[in-house]
Amino acid sequence: MKLLIQKIVNDLDNHSGEITLTVRDVGHGNWNEIKYENKRILFDIGAQKNYGEDDLLKIIRRAKFKNEEEIYIFISHWDVDHYHAILKLSKKELQLIKAVFGPLNVPRTNTAFRVMNLISDAGIIYHGIPSTKKRYLNKQIELNLLFYGTKMKIYRSSKTKSRNLDSVVLLLEGNNSSVLFTGDNNYEKLFNYVVTNSFPNRPLNLILPHHGGAAGKFKLSSWSTVSLENIIISYHQDNSYGHPSPENINISQKLLAFKPHVVTNGSGCKCFTI
């Protein structure tokens, strides 16, 4: 696993051309893509958890997996809306996936078992990334740097019973801007462990955690120290959680100096050259 992830990190470092970011419109869920050369790295491949087969197939068709591609998937954490779409990939699409990575502890749910059986039957290895050892003697959950290169840095949480926080986080530095792939992690932890440790050299595209909903405190005083290119919220208003919260929207607008934040919410995928 370590060698394969480091190879992905090194391949990005050796790539000098264009890198694109796509945040797919998948309802109230997350599916994000990094594309360069013939490679596609997915950070989550989710969709709204109550979507049926037709909805999922439409999303997958829009993604247009190509025969010549190498596809790698990182599952941030084991909530259905972050991996739902993998259940409806065709055999041909599954053949393009070289590996799936995610937290080592897979929950004992029927949906998670279906995913594991599906990828196993397709000959795909699931590389479970174990939690990291704590660096500080306190009760806080940490996010620690596990793999890194010049362009990509991969963080993993210390041991926790929280499914949202038992996660993988990724920071990518492109030619023009950077991206923080957050899953449903916590604002303070993302800032204190990732941003502070690997301060982005280029303006940051921040994918707001937990679809803009409750994920700790989104502190204006902290995030205003970061040059922000975009704040992106992957969600759909047809949700029962009240996402995104008005408070987080207000902070986003202040951070962007009232430049509009970017939302999916049925408006289509958002694509950026980074």
Domain 2-273: assigned CATH number: 3.60.15.10
- What mean pLDDT do residues 69-78 have? 98
pLDDT for the residue 138: 87
The string of pLDDT tens digits covering residues 117-170 is 999 999 999 999 999 999 988 889 999 999 999 999 999 999 999 999 999 999
- Indicate whether this model's pTM tops 0.85: yes
The string of pLDDT tens digits covering residues 74-113 is 999 999 999 999 999 999 999 999 999 999 999 999 999 9
pLDDT for the residue 181: 98
Quote the CA–CA distance of 195 and 171 in Å, as a whole number.
9
pLDDT band at 246 (very low <50, low <70, confident <90, very high): very high
Decide: residue 1, CB within 10 A, 0-12 exposed, 13-18 middle, 19+ buried. Answer: middle
Domain ranges of the chain: 2-273
The string of pLDDT tens digits covering residues 12-65 is 999 999 999 999 999 999 999 999 999 999 999 999 999 999 999 999 999 999
